[in-house]
Amino acid sequence: MTYPLDPALFSDAMKLDPTRAGFGRGLKAAGEANEAVVALCADLTESTQMHLFRDAFPKRFVEIGIAEQNLVTVASGMARAGKIPFTSSYAAFSPGRNWEQIRTTVTLNNQPVKIIGSHAGIYTGKDGATHQMLEDIALMRVLPNMVVVAPGDAIEAEKATKAIAENGKPSYLRLAREKTPVFSLEESPFELGKAYVLKEGTDVLLMGTGTMTYQMLLAAKILAEHGVDAEVVHVPTIKPLDEETILASAKKTGRVVTAEEAQIAGGFGSAVAELLTDTFPMPVKRLGVQDRFGESGDPKEIFEALGLTGEQIAEQVKTWIETTPRYHQE
Amino acid sequence: MVQLTIPQIEEKANAIRKDIISMLEHAGSGHSAGPLGMADIFAALYFNILNINPKEPEWAERDVFFLSNGHAVPVQYAAMAEAGFFEVEELQTLRQFGSRLQGHPEREKLPGLENTSGPLGSGLSQAAGYAYTLQYIDDVKHRFVYVMMGDGELNEGNIWEAAMFAGKNKLSQLVAFIDRNNIQIDGNTEDVMPLEDLKGKWEAFGWHVIEIDGHNIESVIDATSQARAITNRPTVIIAHTIPGKGVDFMEYDYKWHGMPPNAEQAKTALEKLRTLDGKITHEGAGV
């Protein structure tokens, strides 16, 4: 089945919406669907869009104050009492500050606590390096039992929120602050653990997670204008990886480029590189933040400084494939 | 649950102490002092205070007990075995590969455990989360949530985040114990990082505070009765205990915090416990 993309993509009519807004709508819907869903926030209720749930279900909302260690451990106790707790803060604080509490009382304890890391990545913009959480994918991905999801746009964030409400597992949801392009439609598929082929191609595989999938789509469009036929795969679930879809596309194209607005060490690109190293070793180029911190500025300026715009990615991929032979299966 | 009389609970406390010595000696590692010091409180919890059913650990009407200082779990394992959650013989598997009795407690390994703990400072929050759910979301008033904390672990900031949260929300179904034995790994608590005025600190956070002799089982039971009767605040019971209680060469000595007895020391300790330090001359069941 062809993945339905929004026809307005790349046009002036392209919709923009922050993934955190999709989360807010999804959480309210999850609360309507299941009475066991409860929400806890660390003094950032509107900012993380939890106010929609709070206003609809005040009895099931818990204000924790600025105490992220308490945020997830209280949630762990509520999960033991039969609830499905969603906890939200900025990713720099949760899971940034409370990683051990998540490790012991959520993942080893195996309780279905949901860690919502809003304002992750570069789209946090002007707040600067302290608040641009770039290490969260790596921190969450190494924890056994943890599901890690970075939705590509606001529509998918809403679907992902509803999905993790019902998966019975510790889960991490990575969200962005600023509005980002909406490439999917309500009818586009989303399932936890699935990756989706957005565009078929044969020369190189471009794989994005989170908001970087849009940049990969843009890069593929530019590459096509230069005669390069790129396949684009969107990977919203970083753990567990959809090995089948990724391997099929990787074998077809023979070389892989990954992109994430996060540290490349231990992140999404690392997960893909691990998979391919174990199965079909082939050239992999990992785009992301290369062992440095972010800085204040408009997100666009920072993306440019880091070489992560669609235009820059197209340029880098073009140069890379000129010098990088593709893997041949036989 | 059958509630035992105080003399019967005292016997259980002694049985728990013997179990602790024997299992730690067998395991060859683990913490001695804290578990021995808490034996009386755990005997009171598992044989009088907690409304639980050892044959149905997930019983929906049960009281809930969280262990925050996970390293003290030998005393909980011993109390659970004596209460019938599993066979006493299984205590000898403590810390062995494949055992349900992990060095620090893991909820999914052993039915009857409510949480996984070891890294300090997180148990009070979990208990508070459970108590909040009962009081404000599920409107269940007849169940209570108990938690045991060590005094050294009060160094952790997470504890005071939880103390603020429970105080703000007046979690009256939450009953916390502090094992006030004054020792932690690097020495006396007041030398490592002073906790006093401990009572004043908890009162300032909005808690009802009761101070007791943690070796007086009647006091332990009375304190929890009082805690359950206080309906506008959470209660913390500061239980003053003697680390290593019941084994004279371990008592008061912080060096036994993280050390098990060797075979010779265990033999001496068990003899003392069997005779309650020479106070009884006849012997009960063999060790």
Asked if B66 has any chain A CB less than 8 Å from its own CB, the reply is yes
Q: How confident is the model at residue B275 (pLDDT cuts 50, 70, 90)?
A: low
Number of domains present in the structure of chain B: 1
Is pLDDT of B249 > 70? yes
Handedness of CA A63, A66, A72, A73 (dihedral sign): negative
Do A171 and A140 form a contact (C-beta atoms < 8 A)? no
Is pLDDT of B284 > 50? no
> How far apart are the C-alpha atoms of A133 and B227, rounded to whole Å?
43
Domain contains B282:
no
A16-181 and A196-323 have identical folds: yes
In the CATH scheme, what is the code of domain A196-323?
Answer: 3.40.50.920
Q: How confident is the model at residue B283 (pLDDT cuts 50, 70, 90)?
A: very low
Do A209 and A268 form a contact (C-beta atoms < 8 A)? yes
Domain that holds residue B177: 6-274
pLDDT in tens, B34-65: 999 999 999 999 999 999 999 999 999 999 99
Q: Is cis: bond before A240, omega within 30 of 0? A: yes
Q: Residue B30: what pLDDT? A: 85
ipTM over 0.90 threshold: yes
Domain contains B284:
no
Q: Residue B31: what pLDDT? A: 87
Contacts of A75 in chain B (CB under 8 A): 129
Residue ranges per structural domain of chain A: 16-181, 196-323
> How far apart are the C-alpha atoms of A182 and A201, rounded to whole Å?
22
Q: Residue A328: what pLDDT? A: 66
Domain contains B102:
yes
Of B116, B136, B162, which has the smallest distance from its Cβ to A59's Cβ? Answer: B136
Nearest residue of B to residue A38 by CA position?
A: B137
Who contacts B160 (Cβ-Cβ below 8 Å, separation ≥6)? B205
Q: Residue A329: what pLDDT? A: 59
Contacts of B108 in chain A (CB under 8 A): 109-110
Is pLDDT of B286 > 50? no
CATH number, position B55: 3.40.50.970
C-alpha to C-alpha distances, B262 to A98, B26, B76, B253, nearest whole angstrom: 38, 9, 21, 16
Alpha-carbon radius of gyration of chain B: 18
Whether A77 sits inside 8 A of B125 (CB atoms) is: yes
* pTM of the predicted protein model: 0.95
User: Please, what are the averages of pLDDT over each run of 10 residues along chain A (330 residues)?
Assistant: 93 96 98 98 96 98 98 98 98 98 98 97 92 97 98 98 98 96 98 98 98 98 98 98 98 97 97 97 97 95 96 98 81
Q: Residue B3: what pLDDT? A: 87
Nearest CA-CA partner of A154 in A32, A21, A324: A21
Within 201-220 of B, beta carbons closer than 8 Å to A belong to none
pLDDT in tens, A196-226: 999 999 999 999 999 999 999 999 999 999 9
Residue whose structure tokens are 């199965």: A279
Mean pLDDT of B95-119: 97
Q: How confident is the model at residue B271 (pLDDT cuts 50, 70, 90)?
A: confident
Q: Residue B276: what pLDDT? A: 58
Q: Residue B217: what pLDDT? A: 97
Helix (H) or strand (E) holding A16: strand A16-17
Of B106, B126, B137, which has the smallest distance from its Cβ to A60's Cβ? Answer: B137
Crossing angle between the packed helical segments A19-33 and A154-165, to the nearest 10 degrees: 30
Task: Please tell me the distance in Å from A256's CA to the nearest CA on chain B.
Answer: 40
Domain contains B280:
no
Domain contains B285:
no
Within 29-48 of B, beta carbons closer than 8 Å to A belong to none
> Which of the 8 DSSP states describes residue A58?
G
Do B249 and B176 form a contact (C-beta atoms < 8 A)? no
Q: Which CATH number fits domain A16-181: 3.40.50.970, 3.30.565.10, 3.10.450.350, 3.30.559.30?
A: 3.40.50.970
Mean pLDDT of B144-152: 98
Handedness of CA B252, B253, B254, B257 (dihedral sign): negative
Indicate the residue type of B32: S
Domain contains B197:
yes
Domain contains B203:
yes
Who contacts B255 (Cβ-Cβ below 8 Å, separation ≥6)? none
Q: Residue B258: what pLDDT? A: 81
Structural tokens at position B182: 């004054």
> How far apart are the C-alpha atoms of B88 and B277, rounded to whole Å?
23
Task: Please tell me the distance in Å from A76's CA to the nearest CA on chain B.
Answer: 6
Residue whose structure tokens are 């672990």: B153
Is pLDDT of B281 > 70? no
Q: How confident is the model at residue B285 (pLDDT cuts 50, 70, 90)?
A: very low
Q: Residue A330: what pLDDT? A: 45
Do A249 and A279 form a contact (C-beta atoms < 8 A)? no
Mean pLDDT of B68-93: 97
Nearest CA-CA partner of A151 in A183, A199, A125: A183
